Amino acid sequence: MMNKNQAHGAVKDLEGKVQQQVGKLIGNKEQQVKGLQKQAMGKAEKGVGDAKEMVKDATSAIKTTLHRP
């Protein structure tokens, strides 16, 4: 299951891809750059979410291991 950061990051990345392509279609370099920036921000936010999930999974595994008889 995705956490909030992973979901927001994926959406922001997709929005950036669309914005970049629209910029290419209409010949607007500024929109292309803004789209690339949005993609980078989305990938970074998704990375934060991925890291949070890894910590959560590791914590859960440690708790499970410690509570074994």
pLDDT value of position 14:
98
Q: CA quadruple 18, 23, 26, 27: dihedral positive or negative? A: negative
- What pLDDT score does 62 carry? 93
Tell me the per-residue pLDDT of 16-47, one tens digit each, with 9 for 90 and over.
999 999 999 999 999 999 999 999 999 999 99
The pair of structure tokens assigned to 28 is 């607007």
Residue 69 predicted with pLDDT over 80: no
Longest dimension (CA), the chain: 66
